[in-house]
Amino acid sequence: MGVGVVTVGRRSFLAGMGVLGVAGCGAEQAMADRSGEHQDGVVSPAQARTALVAFDVTASDRAGVGAALRAVAQPIPGATVTVAVGASLFDRRFGLTAPQRLVAMPAFRNDVLDPAWCHGDVLVQVGSDQSELIEAALARTVPGLEPRWRISGFHPDGQARNLFGFKEGAGNPAASDEGRHVWVHAGDDEPAWCVGGSYQVVRLFRLAMPIWDAESTARQERVFGRRKDDGAPLGRADEHDEPDYAGDPDGKVLPFDSHIRRANQGDKRILRRSHSYRRAADDVGQIFVSFQRDLDRFETIQQRLAGEALERYVLPFGGGYYFLLPGGDVTRGLLA
pLDDT averages per 10-residue partition of the chain, 336 residues: 34 35 38 67 92 98 96 93 97 97 97 98 97 90 96 87 91 87 96 97 98 98 97 94 94 97 86 96 97 96 96 98 94 89
Q: Contact 204/290 with Cβ under 8 angstroms?
A: no
Contact criterion met (CB below 8 Å) for 284 and 277: yes
What residues contact 37, with CB distance under 8 A and at least 6 apart?
A: 183, 195, 196, 326, 327, 328
Instruction: Provide the pairing of β-strand 283-292 with 271-272.
Output: antiparallel
pLDDT computed for residue 57 by the predictor = 98
CB 204 within 8 A of CB 151: yes
Specify which residues 103 forms β-bridges with: none
Q: How many residues does the chain have?
A: 336
The amino acid at 105: M
Q: Are the beta carbons of 128 and 138 closer than 8 angstroms?
A: no
For position 124, what pLDDT does the model report?
Answer: 97
Distance CA 254, CA 252 (A): 6
Burial of 267 (C-beta count, 10 Å sphere; 0-12/13-18/19+): exposed
- Cα(76)–Cα(245) distance, integer angstroms: 45
How far apart (Å, rounded) are the C-alpha atoms in residues 45 and 325? 19
* pLDDT for residue 36: 78
- Residue 95: count of CB within 10 angstroms of its CB: 9
* pLDDT of res. 156: 80
Residue 238 phi, psi (nearest 5): -135, 150
pLDDT at 174: 85
Give the burial string for 34-70 (b: 16+ CB within 10 Å, else e).
Answer: bbeebbbbbbeebbbbbbbbbbbbebeeeebbbbbbb
